[in-house]
Amino acid sequence: MLNKSVVAAAVLAAFSSMALACTTVVVGEGATADGSFLIARSADSSALKAQHMVIHPAKKNQTGMYRTQDHKGATNFEYPLPKNSLRFTTVPNWQTQLHGAVGFNEAGVGVSGTESIFARDDALKLDPYNEETGITEDDIPDVLLSRSKTAREAVQTLGHIVETIGAGEGFGVVMVDEKEVWYFETGTGHQWLAQRTPKDQYFATGNQGRLQEYDPESPDFMASKNLVKWATDNGFYDPKKDGKFNFSKAYTRDDSRDRVYNDPRVWQIQKILTPSLKQDVQDGRNFPVYAKPEQKVTVDDLKAIMRNHYESGELKSHDPYTNGLRGDEEYRPISVFRTYESHIMQVRPWMPREIGSVIYLAMGMADLSVYVPFYHGLDAYPAHYGMGTNQADSQSLYWKYRKLQTLVMTDYPKLAPVVKEAYKKFEADTAVKQKAFEEDYLKIYKKDPKKADKMLNDWNLKVMAEAEKLTEDLTNQVFTIRTTDIENANFFANKSKKD
């Protein structure tokens, strides 16, 4: 009985470590339809994890320390506050106001983080995560966005923290500005590697260390100072036997857990963007780290990827929703019910930053939510965007979307098409209006920036309100359908149906 209990606990621990998960796609500016930088990520943890949308004002002459425990965060991490903090946005956890998920700062630097990844167990024994005072996804957006003037500076700052203080967990982070986009991965507690995304390619990952190549002489790479030496000294890399250094092979986990939980998501993304790729769905270590899309990538392409649940194509038999809910499906899809938000970041350097940097954000499960644009130049959010807890309510933005999604999941095959079609139309109509708005904004911006700013805020707030109103209407529509279904199934009438 004792042995069985130990095994059961180990299995539960392994499952729990996989449960807090995300999916990330990064697209270089030469691989997109309009030349913008594009990043997409889902944040997956718990459907009860209400998200707030927050604007952090700029601050002058700060002293003291940023302390995670001031907000009851994951570790006792501390780091000096920047003397002059930049204005930045985040989408944090309701309980701690940490783990900001996504945001831009006033310098045009954007962060999306984090992707939970896992180092190989034998390497962690020698250089474990600093679970007491190390930096985690709770801290990364606030620490980087408050001070970084460029994406490269953000990478360097995070790298310095990992090397000197340590990572409290394994993570991957995207940093972008108006010139380049980087992806950063931890190895062990104090080792890391970051690579600039090639201009004409994309990167996809799902909870696994994916970076491989490292050229210390190239400006396209940054890494911990003794990255290769540490792996060599500790027997994880043999230059004579292994040939070219491979970061993923030397540092990150690659076992049966990856075969069904992680590999299928990356396979699906690469199959969507590069259909000609022929590869075994469980051969993740050999998937290309970067690949060229066969057609230029759009914001809509990334929305579709974030909503994907194997509903079509070669993995259709693994769809866990369409043919009845199957929580025991072996292949984890990209879109899961416990996604608490997903987003697409777009950076268009040729435009004024106020509209050039935009986040398309969907609260809750992407497949049953709507992507609403939030422009960099938006001055403030409505009060209820900063509300919501782990208990359903009638005010917060988060629960407006989550309640509809929960109701739809009671009969996904019948109800999902109603919601998805309505949101599809809304997004298409909004895109048309958005194009017209941006054209008008650019004309006005040249002559009167303040007038353009008011126009931007009025337009963005209107779209946000329309998305909420549509969600309220859909909730009532779906409630009506379910009420009819339940009444028909439980009518209990006499033969004449008069009483």
Give the integer Cα–Cα distance in Å for 359 and 341: 12
Q: Is 22 labeled as catalytic in the residue annotation?
A: yes
Task: Look up residue 233 and give its two tokens.
Answer: 């000294």
> In the β-sheet with 37-44, what is the strand arrangement from edge to edge?
290-291, 202-205, 21-27, 37-44, 339-347, 357-363, 372-375
DSSP 323: T
Q: By CB neighbour count within 10 A (0-12 exposed, 13-18 middle, 19+ buried), where does 314 fall? A: exposed
Give the integer Cα–Cα distance in Å for 468 and 460: 13
Which H or E element spans position 21? strand 21-27
Cα–Cα distances in angstroms (integers) from residue 362 to residues 86, 402, 464, 476, in the given order: 25, 11, 11, 20
Task: Look up residue 97 and give its two tokens.
Answer: 């106001």
- HSE-CB of 6 using CA atoms within 13 angstroms: 3
Give yes or no for a contact between 150 and 143, defined as CB atoms under 8 angstroms apart. Answer: no
Give the integer Cα–Cα distance in Å for 326 and 340: 20
Asked if omega into 114 is within 30° of 0 (cis), the reply is yes
Residues 183-201, buried b or exposed e (16+ Cβ, 10 A)? bbbbbbbbbbbbbbbbeeb
Give the integer Cα–Cα distance in Å for 240 and 245: 10
Which H or E element spans position 78? strand 78-80
Q: Which of 419, 303, 409 is nearest to 361 (CA)?
A: 303
Which string of DSSP letters, residue by residue, matches 367-406? GGS--EEEETT-----GGGG---SS--SS-HHHHHHHHHH
Give the integer Cα–Cα distance in Å for 170 and 149: 25
Q: Per DSSP, what are the bridge partners of residue 42?
A: 23, 342
> Catalytic residue among 3, 12, 15, 22, which?
22
Give the integer Cα–Cα distance in Å for 53 and 144: 18
Maximum pairwise Cα distance, the chain: 88
Phi/psi-derived region of residue 452, left when phi > 0, alpha when psi is between -120 and 50, beta in every other case: alpha
Give the residue numbers marked as catalytic.
22
